[in-house]
Structure 1
């Protein structure tokens, strides 16, 4: 079987933007940003040159609202060096509710918890679902471009074809010409982690290394990402409906992986510990979030490697919830896009380290930070990977994973 990954980033982009999305919604609230009379005076945003962004971001007396902004998001965003400057400058509190599962967080919002939040940060594949459920509001691209897309590295700009913040409002598929519904904030990749001191380089050039008897393999009990990586190894597009033959192919590959594995690991902290102690040589799956606890500690031999079959790129994207917004909500979203904030989010005082696609922040990283985050490798990793846009028939693979776990 050929292991060549046929789904390059640019080829998949064309397919994703052409794929029909979810049913159209009616009545989604909002216009530009936070709603109401924002202290950013939205009519002025579009006229601000990108180079004047940091100068504009200076709170005035009218910005000190004493409000609280509630943000549903991931670990790292709550770090003191990320949140405290905003709280102090705007006399505005922020409350962050952290989650670890997109589906669980979506279900919380859909069940009525959306009323508790002003902003939410999901992987970008959930934007169509959030819009279809009328949970989020559109953003005005012309207003936000100076604060967001004008600051991004090239691969995240509209000119380079980054469509995953924009939705066609007829069918809510990703569409470069569509309406902006989110702001990309942090990104990384899912693949597998290898101890480069223990695994032969020629072997870890393919995911096949995790199926080899030569190495001690630990499987992280995270079916959602693992199934996608197994599909890439098998040369199967993860983001379409799958035939019975493809499901069976994934079943056999999954069983073979578990038959070869030494241990099943309940979380990535356990996997990191198993890597650190030498109990395992390969962790399947892992991703760039491995950097936060191993590489940042100086153990650069542990690498979330993207082999020839490619990895899966996820992009955390912040959305404005429907409903009433504090007057400082636009300020908070703009603050999270500021260069210094983006840098701190890449190197937080708590939580893992992941890349942020802001050029000014990346330019300010020192050599150690660039090496830990693997900044110089990211263009090649992205070009050799696919952007996660949702597995439409994930339920077909859940029984396979449960059965496979019993084989260890």
Structure 2
């Protein structure tokens, strides 16, 4: 039998471990050499090296998601970064947590996810040769109260080194590029079944999309009108874009000028995505094609993180709309922080455009 002092010490050690911070280890694995980019695949291994069970969101930007997002940094021997050609998505961590869109790892458990890098990167400009590959190691953790926090995993070993030769870009079928229109015909709902192009969408989903496109157009028109009438930086402006200067004012106004002239009804909508934690995604260079996912169908018809707001978000990503936006921050809280800390990024952030357009809760 162990002495009482030893038992007490052991119990104290367990308590200390139970209250300690999470511990995750991330490692990339893959072939040292590949021929043709179609074979450019890596495995992301995530291990719970801590003392308690973790719920980790399947964030599209994290290695836990198989969506072809900008999850990796791929750099050649000269220091040039591979061209990203993948998706940009609308994602709200708190919504994903409530939907249960996470991976659960008990202490000592691991998960391995394969990534086809040819779906998201083009090596034509950076050329054949040696590449260093690093994965994004910031994850969202969900606690017992469904509260979300960020956590940085420890990376095991150095970057993965792969030599790539042969074909350096994946062949893609051309996408739609005819959705831009300066006409304003969206008010007529009889056009819903005549103008939009759908894939995998039931009649009720088509109807929901049609209503969302009409409201999205209204959001874009009203946002542009608001900007044109604004004489001094308003609370609405500073909340979402920070301090005003000529560059920021021009950038935002120009983006909304493009968005209000998009004919959202002539976009192509794909309803085959089943990811319940993601609202939607687009390929920025494939103008007018939007993939709608699980969270979109549960979104409200108006207000914060709404269906029409999602369309604004995704449309802002298209390069044809003033070079497109990025995803620097997801969710209202993070977007407000971005406005306070880096207004120049806020005017290039997709969720910020959505929240400014939705104006929910309403700000003067």
Q: Please say whether Structure 1 and Structure 2 have the same fold, judged by a TM-score greater than 0.5.
A: no
Provide the TM-score with structure 2 as the length reference.
0.25
Of structures 1 and 2, the one scoring higher in RCO (CA 8 A, sep 6+) is 1
Max Rg structure:
2
- Give 1 or 2: higher strand fraction: 2
